[in-house]
Structure 1
Amino acid sequence: MNWLLKLIEKHTKDGVLDIEALNKEIAIEFPKYAVPKETYNALAETKVKLEDDIKARDIQLEELKKVDAAGLQAEITRLQGENKTSKEAYETELKELMLTNAIKLAIAGKVHDESIVSGLVDKSKLIIGDDGKIVGLDEQINTLKEGKAFLFKDEPVDPNNPNPTPGFKKIGNPPPNEPAAMEDAISAAFGNTTQK
């Protein structure tokens, strides 16, 4: 956490901390020192799976010690088949886990119901690249945004650009059902303009 202390010192002048500048630099530096939660969870689950596989192999080796020389080849062949099946199942589970985590990470905080949206993504069309990136995910999410926009939350308004659509500005009175506007209108109608 020395990097964080250095950033705090860097953005503290005359005993006052510039929180906005600090947060911006933390957002840039944080990925260099931390692993995203989804990646950590995937690695932790992989570690547990590998530990279980090692225990299973140890048990298999102990069983091999009990087998006579004549039955040894048959037992080796059987174990090779089991190990191949286990490896294929593990690789399938790992791929499924990576795809699920990538989908959850891509839609986190952007949709109303993550389980519904993640269920609409066709995992069979996704490819895990050599660099671990998921190819085809962004395209599917963009297609869902266009076809089923109601599943997605509105994009947050940029405080530096409150009117993102060029040429349009919000003008006029506040919406009629806004509680503050209604209270002001009722107060004005009864001549009570003093605030409590």
Structure 2
Amino acid sequence: MSKTLDLRDIQGNIVRAYGRYGFPHARYFLFHIHEAVAGRSFLAALHPRVTTSERWRHAWEDDHGNLPAPPPVTLNIALTWQGLRVLDLPTETLSQFPREFIDGMAPRKHILTDTGPSGHRHWDPVWRAPIEKEPGRDIHVLVTLNARMLPDGTPVPELEEMTDWLRNLGAGDDMTLLTGHNKDGSGDYQQGAQGWCRVATAP
């Protein structure tokens, strides 16, 4: 028996490779939750902006009905098992996840087959912090932004607006936007798809 999926209840990055849909710029933000109530409030603020899998209209479609246009920037979220635990999910629920998800990346570093220059000692600081047991540095929430681009190849201005909004949302004593991206640890987000954009905008 087939069942129709409710696309409004599925995050858009589950079914769409955003880069193929005209969103070549990406930013990845990692947050630490210090307190359950603050974490739930943070997610509640994100929820209305989460991009779902609902269909968009496209320029090549003559008859697209009342479908919405693609947004300038998409937003999607993911949580680690530790993040779910900090949010005070019931133990019965937490115990049902796969062992690999419960452990997370840091405890499984030795079986990830990342060796030499790719070994965990060379990971960006934000990923090494949980291994080195730095307090307040465990990764609980991932927020991803994918943005459309202007004719000159730069991202639409809404990407910077959303970035500032996330920075403000994650500021305070109960939430932390984790820094430590890039090898020198200078960034508060990881940027993606730069190589694709350079190719796309080459004369």
Task: Give the TM-score taking structure 2 as reference length.
Answer: 0.22
Higher relative contact order (CA 8 A, sep 6+): 2
Structure whose CA Rg is larger: 1
